[in-house]
Amino acid sequence: MFKGTMSGLLTTAFLLVITSAVNGAMIYVPDDYSRIQWAHDNASQGDVVVVRDGFYMENVIISKQITVTSENGSMYTFLIPENPNSSVFKVIADNVTVSGFSISGVSGQYMAGIYVSGAEGCVVTGNEIFSSYNGIRLTGSDSCIIFGNTIHDTIWGIALMSGSSNNLIEENIVYNVTGSLFSSGIYLYPAHSNRIANNTVYGSTNGIYLLMNSENNILTGNMLFGNVYSGIAIKSSSNNTINNSIIMENENGILIMESSSSNRIFQNTVENNTNGAYISESTKNNFSYNSLFNNTVGMYFTSSSQNTVSSNDLSWNLDGIYFRNSDKNLVTANVIFGNSIGIKTYNTSGILIYANTFTSNSQNAYPINSENIWNSTDLYTYIYNGSQHFGHLGNFWDDYPVTGSDEDGVGDMAYQLDVNNTDFHPLLKPFENYQIISVAETIPDMVDDASEQLVSKYHSSFDWKTQTPTKDDALQAVVSAVTQYFISTDDTAKQEIVDDVIQLVVLYFLI
């Protein structure tokens, strides 16, 4: 389902690599040389070493630009290391291809069935690697293709280390990778600008793990299921993309933690995990157009701020979204359906929540010790029922008692969750019925600094330099001004207060 044009082009490119290599001499093992290493040592650049069916015990160092391939594939050509503490193949030359072997028995720490070190443009394809420390390991290697391998029963599956970049890791199958908390089907530490596409990882500790400043990687079209700790984990890494993947039956479907920022997560299907997405101590990540359903918690944010959750479908979870000790996030245009609790907040403030559709939840929202904003702070120009309108937009709540004429699609009565959490502009229909044309920032466009200073004059806890006044701020300033009017005995001061009250009332209706 994930194979597309890019996959076909890459397969064609790989075949061209193999075909071009045939222009060199063909050297057969064991016909010409009984050992693969000896065939390599006697080969020239561009030669092809073909290994016939059989069982071989070697540690091969490839230091020439050659192709080493089995004659009939990994089902018929088996290698184990002569020295288990070293890799079976260690590649230290550019533009090497290794294909079609069954490799096992590498026990040396950091060693691998196939180890590419400091090389560029290498191709590793069609191998089965198992019962080893690493399956395939790249260290400081760039522009390599790791394609169509099967790796299982290792501590690490495919590892990209020491700044390896611009590699393609595609259509590999990795399973039963365990032995460490960090054991992963595909592991980047650190690695940059790699494409991890259309791989399947299951039954492992982690599916795909990026950490320690791994940046600008694209993870697309992967299937990750039944992994113990996470489907995809990002730790202390930023500017990565996760999209078009299926992530299910993991402890954490997507795990983002420890100062990871500006990662983009979109168009994924995340289901039947304990946490669909778990975000800890991370900022400015963007989740959009994902389907998160049948998880214990759809999205769980803890100690995280300035993240955006938009246009997602969060359905049939215990909690749709849960914010804990997480301030100033944005939640907009999501469909939150059929959850026990649609959105839960604990000890949070400044989360902006608007234009969401809450339906068929046992409880739409549950704020605890929180004070958040439940409608847009901006003014929108929008079309509703064929007519154009201008104003603030809140959320659609299926338990809101409809009031008003329905002319502009916004209720006349506020929807109050508790004393500190109120949607002042609840929608009368699901948000899909509102077409946004443009947005105007309310306070900079409609309210000048003089008006903000006027609020501050009568509202002692409002700081006009750092805060934006709300209707409540303007109303509190009016009440305070009227109180001062009745206390004052100075006629001049009374007239000034009257003038101020008029301006504050105008401001109230502008906000």
Question: Could you tell me the residue ranges of all domains in the chain?
Answer: 1-235, 251-440, 443-510
Q: Which two tokens stand for residue 151?
A: 């790796």
Q: pLDDT per position in the chain (511 positions), as tens? A: 434 444 444 444 444 445 444 579 999 999 999 999 999 999 999 999 999 999 999 999 999 999 999 999 999 999 999 999 999 999 999 999 999 999 999 999 999 999 999 999 999 999 999 999 999 999 999 999 999 999 999 999 999 999 999 999 999 999 999 999 999 999 999 999 999 999 999 999 999 999 999 999 999 999 999 999 999 999 999 999 999 999 999 999 999 999 999 999 999 999 999 999 999 999 999 999 999 999 999 999 999 999 999 999 999 999 999 999 999 999 999 999 999 999 999 999 999 999 999 999 999 999 999 999 999 999 999 999 999 999 999 999 999 998 666 789 999 899 999 999 999 999 999 999 999 998 864 433 344 566 777 888 888 887 766 677 888 888 888 888 888 888 888 888 888 888 788 778 767 766 6
The 8-class DSSP code of residue 305 comes to: B
Which H/E stretch holds residue 12?
Answer: helix 5-21
pLDDT of residue 69: 98
pLDDT of residue 19: 45
pLDDT of residue 15: 44
Q: What residue has token string 């293709």? A: 145
Q: Could you say which of 2.30.40.10, 2.160.20.10, 3.40.50.300, 3.40.50.2300 is the CATH number of the domain covering 1-235?
A: 2.160.20.10
Q: What pairing do the DSSP bridges indicate for beta strands 206-211 and 184-192? A: parallel
Q: Report CA-CA distances (Å) from 3 to 7, 9, 171.
A: 6, 11, 9
The closest alpha carbon to 205, from 236, 250, 257, belongs to 250
pLDDT of residue 407: 87
Decide: 117 and 96 in contact? Cβ < 8 Å.
no
Q: 358: number of CA atoms within 13 Å, CB side?
A: 31
* Number of C-beta neighbours around residue 130 at 10 A: 18
The closest alpha carbon to 423, from 462, 459, 372, belongs to 372
pLDDT of residue 465: 62
HEC-encoded secondary structure of 21-52: HCCCCEEEECCCCCCHHHHHHCCCCCCEEEEC
Produce one character per residue of 500-509: b if its CB has 16 or more CB atoms within 10 Å, e if not: bbebbeebbe
User: What's the CA gap between 390 and 510, in Å, rounded?
Assistant: 12
pLDDT of residue 9: 41
The 8-class DSSP code of residue 490 comes to: -
Q: Report CA-CA distances (Å) from 140 to 186, 190, 396, 414, 487.
A: 16, 10, 52, 59, 77
Q: Kindly report the CA angle at 200 between 198 and 204, in degrees rounded to 5?
A: 145
pLDDT of residue 438: 85
Helix (H/G/I), strand (E/B), else coil: 511: coil
Decide: 99 and 123 in contact? Cβ < 8 Å.
yes
pLDDT of residue 470: 81
List, in order, residues 6 or more apart from 405 with CB less than 8 Å away: none
Q: Kindly report the CA angle at 305 between 302 and 307, in degrees rounded to 5?
A: 100
| Cis peptide preceding 30, ω within 30 of 0 | yes
Decide: 167 and 138 in contact? Cβ < 8 Å.
yes
pLDDT of residue 442: 40
pLDDT of residue 310: 98
User: What's the CA gap between 363 and 351, in Å, rounded?
Assistant: 19
pLDDT of residue 404: 60
Question: Within its chain, how far is the Cα of 158 from the centroid?
Answer: 20
User: What's the CA gap between 336 and 331, in Å, rounded?
Assistant: 11
User: What's the CA gap between 208 and 182, in Å, rounded?
Assistant: 10
pLDDT of residue 448: 57
pLDDT of residue 16: 44
Decide: 36 and 64 in contact? Cβ < 8 Å.
no
List, in sequence order, the alpha helices (H) in 405-461.
442-446, 449-458
Which H/E stretch holds residue 502?
Answer: helix 491-510
Decide: 353 and 374 in contact? Cβ < 8 Å.
yes
Decide: 320 and 275 in contact? Cβ < 8 Å.
no
**Residue 508 phi/psi, 5° resolution?**
-55, -40
**Residue 61 phi/psi, 5° resolution?**
-105, 120
Decide: 115 and 140 in contact? Cβ < 8 Å.
no
Identity of the residue numbered 425:
H
